[in-house]
Structure 1
Amino acid sequence: MNKWLQVSFVILTFALSGQAYTDDSKVSLPDDSIYHLDSEWVTQDEQTINIQSLSGKQQMVSLIYTHCMHTCPTIVATMQNIEKKLPQDVLDNTEFVLVSLTPASDTAKVLKDFAEKRKLNQDRWTLLTGDPQDIRSLAMALNIRYKKSDDNEVAHSNVFTLLDEQGRIVFQEVGDINKVDETVARIVSQ
């Protein structure tokens, strides 16, 4: 048998045996990990990242938009207060992610300006914008509901989600400044 046929035969046999090549990072993810979405995002620093790059630390995630005047500022303030109250050992394993619900207007530059105005520690906070379909898929995976209106406003769930190191939902909480201590206790007890 010539070399080409031998290689083809080996590949076909391997594929038929159900052991075809797969990406090792996906194989090690639990079935309920949001990192299976395998989506590409742009950060506030104009870097393109895959959502899987968030694995390894627990992530506190919320979907917001920067020109929101209602619930989004409360969500972000709540997350900032949680960040301030977490014990250092827990904080070292925790990052914060804000995903824009209005990617057409929330460019990387707009996200960067927002992070600077809000004094977000950019070593710990990642702001993401992306494709509307990826945003919808992420929202669905996190059970976040939202609906855009014609004036570029968005009615959306007022929650943030804590993900474990492998992208599984640990819990969700309403973005309420009065629940900071309760939420910190929940995070610490994990």
Structure 2
Amino acid sequence: MRKVTLKNYLTVAFGLFVLLAVNACNPSSNEKKNDASQVEAKELPGNSIYHIDGYWSDQNGDSLQLKAFAGKPVVFTMIFTHCEYACPMMVNDLKKLEALFSPEERQKFHFVMVSFDHVRDLPARLKEYAEAQELGSNWSLLHGNEDLVKELAIATDISFEFVDDGGIAHSNRKLVLDKQGVILKSFNGLGTDPELMKSVLEELF
């Protein structure tokens, strides 16, 4: 049997101490992400909708929280993909807005559309819808559970109600959020002048 000397013991002990010290000074990527999220939450204004907890799934199946959109202005609305009249017009309003900006300018803000329909509008369906509407990478379509959708609708003052024929009666409301998720301007109804929304957005660049 190999004899363990005091020198060998001290060498091993010192090595373990150095290893533990390095790990303590270099937290894992998950710890870094958690710390960053906590800092972001503390820095958000009290009236930011990004304070809403809970995870959403986007059209690519990725899980995220609303505060993931912090850092850029956001054009926000709520729709559902089986809507045959108002929602396509809402999307068209936003596409007209997008067309007023150059490809470079479009990277300075983001479109977020949340579905009212937590049952049918799963990520795969949202992806199909995004492709059919030819929506680019600066568009996020989100699916959430029933309670989360209701909470967000209340926070954004968007009303909706499921009706007997499988449809959803809802208000048509588009919002411009600042970089911290605070509602700066709302546009109600269909056929909104895209120049009006553009003027609000440009002040945030």
Give the structure-2-normalised TM-score. 0.77
How many angstroms apart in 1 are the aligned matches of 2:110 and 2:189? 17
The answer as to whether partners of 1:147 and 1:154 remain within 8 angstroms in 2 is yes
Report percent identity of matched pairs: 29
Q: Aligned partner of 1:136: which letter? A: K
Task: State the AA in 2 paired with 1:134.
Answer: L
In structure 1, stretches of 5+ residues that fail to align are: 1-20
Contact 1:78/1:175 (<8 A) preserved: no
Largest Rg, 1 or 2:
2
Structure 2 Cα separation of the partners of residues 87 and 112 of structure 1: 24
Which residue of 43, 48, 52 maps to 2:67? 52
Partner residue of 1:142?
156
Describe how 1:101-140 pairs up with structure 2 within 5 A: 101-121=116-136, 123-140=137-154
Over 3 Å counting, the alpha-carbon distance change for 1:175 and 1:78 in structure 2 is farther
Q: Distance in 2 between matches of 1:178 and 1:51?
A: 25
Which secondary structure does the structure 2 equivalent of 1:160 belong to? strand
The Cα shift of 1:164 comes to: 0.6
Say if 1:89 and 1:188 are closer, same or farther in 2 by CA, change over 3 A: farther
Query: Is 1:98 aligned to 2:102, yes or no?
Result: no
Kindly state the Cα deviation for residue 175 of structure 1 after the two structures are TM-superposed: 4.7
Alpha-carbon deviation of 1:177? Answer: 2.9
- Match of 1:129, as an amino acid? H
- Structure-2 residue corresponding to 1:39: 54
Q: CA deviation at 1:179?
A: 1.2
Q: Is the CA contact 1:35–1:167 (under 8 Å) kept in the aligned structure 2? A: yes
The letter for the 2-side match of 1:71 is A
Deviation at 1:87, TM superposition (A): 5.1
CA RMSD of aligned residues (A): 1.8
Gapped regions of structure 2 (runs ≥ 5): 1-34
Distance 2:64 2:149 in 1: 14
**Structure 1 residue 137: Cα displacement:** 0.5
Deviations 1:121-176 (A, max 9, x none): 1x100000011110010111101111111322111111111111100001111253
Aligned match for 1:164, one of 168, 178, 182: 178
TM-score for both structures, normalised by structure 1: 0.83
Number of residue pairs matched by the alignment: 169
Cα deviation for residue 59 of structure 1 reads 0.8
Work out the CA distance in 2 between the residues paired with 1:127 and 1:178. Answer: 21
Q: Which has the higher strand share?
A: 1
Whether contact under 8 Å (1:86, 1:188) holds in the other structure is no
Q: Which residue of 1 aligns with 2:92?
A: 77
2:135 partner SS: coil
What's 2:26 paired with? none
Instruction: Report if the CA contact (8 A) 1:102-1:152 is conserved.
Output: no
Q: Does 1:61 align with 2:91?
A: no
The answer to whether the 8 A contact 2:161-2:168 is kept is yes
